Amino acid sequence: MELKAEKRELFGKKTGALRRSGFVPAELYGHGIKNVHLSVALKDFQAVYKTAGGNTVVNLSFETKPRPVMIHDVHMDYVNNAVLSVDFHEVKMDEKITAGVPLKFVNESPAVKDLKGVLIKAMDEIEVEAFPQNMPSEIIVDLAVLKNLGDSVYIKDLSVSADYKYAVDPNTVVVTASEPEEEEIETVEVTPESVIVETEEKKAERENNKQENSNEA
């Protein structure tokens, strides 16, 4: 997957003109390399980002040979749903990296469907260590194994591969089929006898108060 870029000479408030012309300011950095100011066509970037996400290697082309990068961060204006800037991280194909890989939850939990359980997702992505070219695009989580209330899927239950490993404690919970929350409502039974008793008690209390007031006078 390739993305063309150009060196950028506009900075600060001047980047507004860059965005209006259909380009996005970008930064390229990485371990042992000099930071480079770039710009990329918004339309091209959106197409690449939709497919690659933040954990797939992209060949970023500018000036000379393409550089292998990963889309590290995308700064958004969420009011206008506009891309403000992009950070690219150059990687070395012979060095392992750690990146967040999104989890994809598939199938339906019998505990949720049949026992009215509540699905509680403890995470939506997981840290994975791998060579850049072996980094998975997603990790599948099968909810069908959650058959009883209280069942959980742990990191150690996820699929394994020789190409990557999880950089998280294997006993970490990913998702749980929890028991449904029930509101406890205290009910008080009212009977004619209890009403009579309460009325007599109130009457006696009033008489006592009157007696005390007359004694004080």
How many other C-beta atoms are found inside a 10 Å radius of the C-beta of residue 118? Answer: 14
Which listed CATH number (2.40.50.180, 3.30.70.2740, 3.50.30.20, 2.170.120.20) goes with 93-210? 2.170.120.20
Predicted local confidence at residue 184, as pLDDT: 46
pTM score: 0.72
- How far is residue 163's CA from residue 136's CA, in Å, rounded to a whole number? 9
Provide the percentage of residues in the chain whose pLDDT is more than 90.
Answer: 64
Q: What is the mean pLDDT of residues 117-130?
A: 95
> Quick one: tokens of 58?
């992209």
| Euclidean distance between the first and the last CA atom of the chain, given in angstroms as a whole number | 98
Superfamily (CATH H level) for 2-90: Ribosomal Protein L25; Chain P (2.40.240.10)
pLDDT tens-digit readout, 37-91: 999 999 999 999 998 888 889 999 988 789 999 999 999 988 888 899 999 999 9
Domain positions in the chain: 2-90, 93-210
pLDDT tens-digit readout, 18-52: 999 999 999 999 888 889 999 999 999 999 999 88
Predicted local confidence at residue 185, as pLDDT: 43
Cβ–Cβ under 8 Å, residues 56 and 97? no
- How far is residue 150's CA from residue 154's CA, in Å, rounded to a whole number? 13
Q: What is the mean pLDDT of the chain?
A: 86
Q: Which amino acid is at 116?
A: K
**pLDDT at 14 > cutoff 90:** no
Name the one residue in this structure whose structure tokens are 């009883």.
Answer: 148
- Residue 1's pLDDT band, with cuts at 50, 70 and 90, is confident
